[in-house]
Structure 1
Amino acid sequence: MPLWLDLLRTPMAAPESRSLRRMRFTWQGLCLSLALTVTLFTPFHRMAGQLAPVFVAVQLVATAVYSWLYLARKQRIDKAFLDRAGESE
C-alpha cells in the first residue's frame, strides 16, 4: 500500500470524549467572545467605562490559560491514543 494511502487511513487524533468536547466548546467560546470584545471595544468602553480594559485583560488571561490547559490535555490524550495504536500493529 502506498505511504499516502496508509497515512490517510491512520487516525491522527484520539476520538473526542464528552469532557474534551465540552472543553473545546468552552475554548472556542472564550476565543470568540475575546475577538468580539476587542472588535467592539469602543462601544464597550463607552458602556463600561474604566472597567472595560480590566475586563479585556481578565478575558485575555483566562483565554490564554484555558488554551494552554485544553491544548496540553488534547496533546496528552492524542499521544496516548497514538502510542496504543502503534503498539497494536
Structure 2
Amino acid sequence: MKHALAALSVVLLLSGCTTGVQTYGYSPNLQPIPGSITYGGQPRTKLKKAPVGSIVPHQFFDQFGRQVFETYVIEPDRSLRLVSRRWRSLDVFGDFD
C-alpha cells in the first residue's frame, strides 16, 4: 500500500510539470488553423504514391510566433486528415535546449 501511495504521489507531482510543449492531439474534432496544410480546404495535388495510412508531418510558425507541429494521415480517398497538433513556444532569451 505504501508503494502504491508513493507511486501515485510521484505521478501527481510529475503531472504538474510543464515542458514548454503543449499537446492537443488525436481529437476527432481537430480543426485546421492558418498555416495548416488543410486550412481553406484540401490541397489541390493528390498524394498518389504514398500508401493509405501514411503519416505526413508538417511544421510552421503560427501568428503568435509559436512553432506548430501537425501530423496528418492519408485517407483512402487521398485526402489528408489532421490527427494531432503540438505547439512549442520560443524562448525569448534564446535558450533553445
> What is the TM-score of this pair, normalised by structure 2?
0.26
More helix by share: 1
More strand by share: 2
> What is the TM-score of this pair, normalised by structure 1?
0.28
**Looking at CA atoms only, which structure, 1 or 2, has the larger radius of gyration?**
1
Where relative contact order (Cα < 8 A, 6+ residues apart) is larger, the structure is 1
